[in-house]
Amino acid sequence: MSGSLHIFRRDVVNGTPYFQVNYNLAGITFAKVLDGDSQLNEFLEVATALPDDLVEAAWKQLDSTGVANIVDIDFAESQAVAHGMTPAPTDF
């Protein structure tokens, strides 16, 4: 089953930006906050194992709008939890 990943960049004055990552899968939302570009990049490349072209597309979206959406990715509920994502209310 595939889900969708939504990433929101939160800029901090005089600090490293952080990213809120929400993963929606079959009516369940998982959330995680990542500190800085390197943590987000590691999450996208290692945890979700996204191909390079999707990672690059996400960074382009984040650079231009501060938000990235990646649809139809295979990232199981057990993987989300194993990588530190927390179940959240659906309207989170």
Q: List the chain domain ranges.
A: 3-88
Residue 91: pLDDT band with limits 50, 70, 90? low
Structure tokens at 63: 């650079």
User: 31 near 21, Cβ under 8 Å?
Assistant: yes
Confidence at residue 1, expressed as pLDDT on a 0 to 100 scale: 73
pLDDT digits (tens, 9 = 90+) for 33-72: 999 999 999 999 999 999 999 999 999 999 999 999 999 9
Q: Is the model's pTM score more than 0.85?
A: yes
| Mean predicted lDDT score pLDDT of the chain | 92
Rounded to whole angstroms, the Cα distance separating 58 from 74 reads: 16
69 Cβ neighbours under 8 A, 6+ residues apart: 4, 5, 6, 7, 61
